[in-house]
Amino acid sequence: MGILEKISEIEKEIARTQKNKATEYHLGLLKAKLAKYRAQLLEPSKSPAAKGEGFDVMKSGDARVALIGFPSVGKSTFLSLMTSTASEAASYEFTTLTCIPGVIEYKGANIQLLDLPGIIEGAAQGKGRGRQVIAVARTADVVIMMLDATKGEVQRALLEKELESVGIRLNKSKPNIYFKPKKGGGISFNSTVTLTQCSEKLVQLILHEYKIFNAEVLFREDCSPDEFIDVIVGNRVYMPCLYVYNKIDQISMEEVDRLARRPHSVVISCGMKLNLDYLLEKLWEYLALTCIYTKKRGQRPDFTDAIILRKGASVEHVCHRIHRSLASQFKYALVWVSARQMLESLSSGVSDWSSNPSPHFLLQRGQAQSTALKEWA
């Protein structure tokens, strides 16, 4: 029996097993086996094969965004509208056969946008070169899942299942579980919270399935067996995702309103160029980028050339972006904050900037001699 057949059998077994206290250990073992077989399926083949053209392109710009979706949902049209790159769009499926990069220029940042070929059901198992497409998506900072608004929720559920099966976790944070294999001493299990989904026995059974008999495990939050398996495997990718429903000009206003109210969702129409500006604002928010401007003594700041950094950046990060030798000679920094950004930070409950960094602020590094925070004139 091949790996695909084993995966299919385990998925059927999970589907027909009732979820209750008596079956939780059995389900935990099945999920551990399923994760192992899926990891084997994604491993590159060791047999020699002819070299083919890959999908990945060189990473450039301040951030990378991957467009994922089924064929003929409007990915190429969206790329042509948002960037200066012309991607072929037609009324038939699989118009795009390779990765086409473009650049979105927004608020002084260069955001690389990748138009990936449409994937089909079973892409995680390699159908339609789905593995290459998903491999590129793992390198992105944000995933835009392009969906056809006329087809309801079917596409969204199928795509989430495909990405979930290859270790991409959308709009989720990494489980707060401490896990460290040891050379001896058995399994040490502790938790700082009350566990309702996992027990010590279930954790031991899952570890034994992975041939791990000596380890330290500490649960700092109430996690499920699936999340604990993710921690053991260690190759999961956690990234934000925007669900973009295209072709809203072909559905009713009631359906548009329902889709727009779903979490992490944006409704647009590439054909009529509707709501594209709002999509850019949401994309900027999900990328968590911030613009930093420098100024010389006695002169006004230069707003034409921004330094783009990630959320939580410090003055030291700015020094490294300007020149790698600047940080070692750095003594102090003057940081100006706009009044609007200051009010936003205070209204969100941030009272101590030094211990609660915000994407709108640059904080003094530990070795600095003095810091001045002033309202932007």
Region 347-373 average pLDDT:
39
Domain boundaries, the chain: 3-50, 63-172+238-286, 177-235, 289-367
Least confident of 35-39, 123-127, 154-158, 330-334: 123-127
- pLDDT of residue 17 exceeding 70: yes
CB contact set of 93 (below 8 Å; sequence gap of 6+): 71, 72, 118
Tell me the pLDDT tens digit for each residue of 258-281.
999 999 999 999 888 889 999 999
**pLDDT category of residue 241 using cuts at 50, 70 and 90:** very high
Contact present, 120 and 127 (Cβ < 8 Å): yes
What is the structure's pLDDT at 49? Answer: 46
Q: Which residue has the higher pLDDT, 374 or 78?
A: 78
Residue tagged 């900072």 (tokens): 141
- pLDDT of residue 14 exceeding 50: yes
Question: Which of 95, 97, 147, 137 lies closest to 114 in space, CA to CA?
Answer: 137
Other Cβ atoms closer than 10 A to 94: 12
Report the distance separating Cα 294 and Cα 302, nearest Å. 6
Q: Which CATH class for the 63-172+238-286 domain?
A: alpha beta
Contact present, 161 and 77 (Cβ < 8 Å): no
**pLDDT category of residue 345 using cuts at 50, 70 and 90:** low
Q: Which residue has the higher pLDDT, 91 or 66?
A: 66
H or E segment and range at residue 328: helix 326-329
What is the structure's pLDDT at 370? Answer: 29
CATH number of this structure's domain 289-367, picked from the four choices 3.10.20, 1.10.1660, 2.40.160, 3.40.50: 3.10.20
Region 181-210 average pLDDT:
89
Q: Which residue has the higher pLDDT, 144 or 10?
A: 144
What is the structure's pLDDT at 324? Answer: 81
**Residue 321 vs residues 157, 300, 326: alpha-carbon distances, Å:** 41, 21, 9
- pLDDT of residue 155 exceeding 80: yes
